[in-house]
A and B are shown apart, each in its own frame.
Chain A
């Protein structure tokens, strides 16, 4: 759990670093995607409890003590939603990038700063 948590944070930081340093719009989107992934890993990792089984009520789980035997299902549910949303956002970002490229033939973020002050 700790390992995956650290991994998640690492990915998050790598992603942020990428977003902050890369000039290419696509790379920034990739950075964002990495941040997203990192977040998802963090979410999943906090829901995991070692030595417990998946939260599915089948024969292996004692119905009376179900809550003690399975891992928390909510983070998994959350992460599914988050992945979907992250996907949507990433897709939208990429479509923005395409539009921008179509209009201005440039992928460098430095070429899009006429709005300022």
Chain B
């Protein structure tokens, strides 16, 4: 009868440091390729929309501010994103990448899940527009 085959390991474990990662208190560095939050570089973008076409979860929208001068704002929804990196693969101008440091994205507010990427003045224009709803809407007939 053989019982307790595990005994050797058991004793070893007793004197070994636990292998549990003490996560929120001590962080280990993420590998280089880790697919975290999407990062967008507006300088390089030409607005080909290839990234949007293949996004499996409709997590990115490209809003054109000025097509001629190539000014775009990328609205990114991290809550919808599945982190597949297909958009990064599709982008021929390397203006999209996935961060390996921004990956702790839990939040108690909804605002954190709508990210605007682009030149600051473009975003300002966009948000201003959004802040004044119904300017052109005709009033309800009595």
Does A associate with B in a complex?
no
